[in-house]
């Protein structure tokens, strides 16, 4: 059985990346 652990980490990472991306865009403004 495969554990969804990797997917969970991936999801959290993408969420963090998105947040950082938004912050970067705001700081550019």
Q: Which residue shows structure tokens 């970067």?
A: 24
Q: Which pLDDT value is given to residue 15?
A: 93
Backbone phi and psi for residue 2, each to the nearest 5 degrees, phi listed first: -90, 140
Distance (Å, rounded) from C-alpha 28 to C-alpha 6? 33
Q: Which pLDDT value is given to residue 1?
A: 56
Does residue 28 or residue 24 have the better pLDDT? 24
């Amino acid at each position: 059985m495969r554990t969804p652990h990797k997917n969970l980490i991936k999801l959290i990472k993408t969420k963090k990346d998105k947040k950082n991306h938004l912050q970067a865009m705001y700081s550019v403004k």
